[in-house]
Chains A and B, each alone.
Chain A
Amino acid sequence: MSVVENGLPVLTAKDFATDQEVRWCPGCGDYSILAQVQKVMPTIGVPKENIVIISGIGCSSRFPYYMNTYGMHSIHGRATAVASGLKATRPELSVWIVTGDGDSLSIGGNHTIHLLRRNFDVNILLFNNQIYGLTKGQYSPTSEKQKVTKSTPFGSIDHPFNPSALAMGADATFIARSMDRDPKHLQEMLTRSHKHKGASFLEIYQNCNIFNDGAFEIFTEKSTKPNETLFLEQGKPLLFGATKNKGIKLDGFKPVVVEIGVDASVDDIWVHDEFDFYKAQILIRMFDDPRLENHLPRPFGVFYETERACYEDILNLQVEETIATKGKGDLDKLLRGKEVWEIN
Chain B
Amino acid sequence: MEKQDVLLSDVVIKFAGDSGDGMQLTGTQFTNNTALLGLDLATFPDFPAEIRAPQGTLPGVSGFQLHFSSDRVFTPGDMCDVLVAMNAAALKANLAFLKKGGRIIANIDGFDAKNLRLANYIDGINPLENGSLDSYDVIKIDVTKLTRETLKDFPELGMKEKDRAKNMFVLGFLYWMYNRSLDSTINYLEEKFGKKENILASNIKVLQAGYNYGDTTETFTTRYKVEKARMPAGTYRSIMGNQALAYGLIAASEKSGLPLFLGSYPITPASDILHELSRHKAFGVRTFQAEDEIAAITSAIGASYGGSLGVTTTSGPGMALKSEAMGLAVMLEIPLVIIDVQRGGPSTGLPTKTEQSDLLQAYYGRNGECPMPVIAAKTPSDCFNAVFEAVRISLQHMTPVIFLSDGYIANGAEPWRFPKSEDLQPIHVKFKTDLEEDEHKFLPYKRDEKLVRPWAIPGTPGLEHRIGGIEKQNITGNVSYDPENHQLMVNIREKKVENIADYIPLQTLDSGPEKGKVLVLGWGSTYGAIESAARQLQWEGHAVSHAHLRYLRPFPKNLGEILNNFETILVPEINNGQLIKIIRDKYLVDAKAYNKVKGVPIAKGELVEEIRKYL
Contact = CB atoms under 8 A, between A and B. Distances in A.
Interface in A19-67: 20, 47-50, 52, 54, 57, 64-65, 67
B299 A88 contact: yes
B259 A89 contact: yes
Interface string B265-309: 000000000000000111111101011101100111111111110
A50 B235 contact: no
Interface stretch (B32-40, B192-200, B352-360, B371-379): B32-40
A93 B282 CA distance: 23
A332 B421 CA distance: 6
B559 interface: no
Contacts of B247: 334-335
Contact of B306 (A65, A90, A341): A90
Nearest to A90: B306
A146 interface: no
Contacts of A90: 306-307, 458-459
Interface string B180-222: 0000100000000000000000000000000000000000000
A322 B461 contact: no
Interface of B is mostly: mixed
A19 to B, nearest CB: 9
B418 interface: yes
Contacts of A72: 305, 332, 466-468
Interface string A52-94: 1010010000001101111111110010011111111110110
Contacts of A334: 247, 250, 280, 283
A319 interface: yes
A321 to B, nearest CB: 8
B250 A331 contact: yes
A222 interface: no
A111 B291 contact: yes
B486 interface: no
A344 B231 CA distance: 9
B140 interface: no
Contacts of B317: none
A319 B281 contact: yes
B603 interface: no
B303 A70 contact: no
A292 interface: no
Contacts of B259: 89
B236 A85 contact: no
A65 B479 contact: yes
Contact of A114 (B229, B291, B327): B291
A336 interface: yes
Contacts of A329: 250, 254, 280, 282-284
B459 A49 contact: yes
A235 B89 CA distance: 72
Contacts of A85: 261, 263, 288, 298-306, 310
B228 interface: yes
B133 interface: no
Contacts of B299: 81-82, 84-85, 88
A315 B421 contact: no
Interface in B441-472: 458-470
Contact of A341 (B38, B239, B328, B332): B38
Contact of A318 (B238, B281, B307, B308): B281
A105 B286 CA distance: 28
Contacts of B420: 332, 335
B421 A339 contact: no
B298 A78 contact: yes
A81 B298 CA distance: 6
B301 A70 contact: no
Interface string B95-111: 00000000000000000
Contact of A331 (B232, B251, B300): B251
Given A81-B290, A84-B295, A343 B238 contact: no
B306 A335 contact: no
A339 B36 contact: yes
Interface string B119-140: 0000000000000000000000
Interface in B49-70: none
Contacts of A335: 237, 247, 251, 418-421
A343 B417 CA distance: 10
A340 B286 contact: no
A114 B459 contact: no
B290 to A, nearest CB: 7
A343 B291 contact: no
A71 B332 CA distance: 12
Contact of B237 (A318, A326, A332, A339): A339
Given A52-B458, A82-B301, A331-B250, A74 B464 contact: no
Interface string A302-322: 000000000000011011001
B158 interface: no
Contacts of B307: 89-90
A322 to B, nearest CB: 4
B255 to A, nearest CB: 9
A167 B205 CA distance: 57
B324 interface: yes
A254 interface: no
Contacts of B285: 319
Given A84-B295, A110-B292, A114-B295, A322 B301 contact: no
A322 B302 contact: no
A339 B288 CA distance: 30
Contact of B303 (A78, A88, A327, A339): A88
A50 B306 CA distance: 11
Given A85-B302, A329-B282, A111 B295 contact: yes
B237 A78 contact: no
B234 interface: yes
A53 B5 CA distance: 73
Contacts of B250: 329, 331, 334
B568 to A, nearest CB: 37
9 A-B pairs with the lowest CB-CB distances in the bound complex, closest first: A73-B468, A85-B302, A85-B299, A329-B283, A86-B302, A329-B282, A81-B295, A82-B302, A70-B458
Given A49-B459, A85-B263, 16 more contacts: A70-B465, A72-B466, A72-B467, A74-B469, A86-B303, A86-B305, A92-B459, A329-B283, A335-B419, A339-B32, A339-B36, A342-B38, A342-B234, A342-B236, A343-B233, A343-B234
6 contacts: A75-B469, A85-B300, A110-B291, A318-B281, A336-B237, A340-B237
Interface of B: 32, 35-38, 184, 228-229, 231-239, 247, 250-251, 254, 259, 261, 263, 280-286, 288, 290-292, 294-295, 298-308, 310, 324-325, 327-328, 332, 417-421, 458-470, 478-479
Interface of A: 18, 20, 47-50, 52, 54, 57, 64-65, 67-75, 78, 81-90, 92-93, 110-111, 114, 315-316, 318-319, 322-323, 326-329, 331-332, 334-337, 339-344
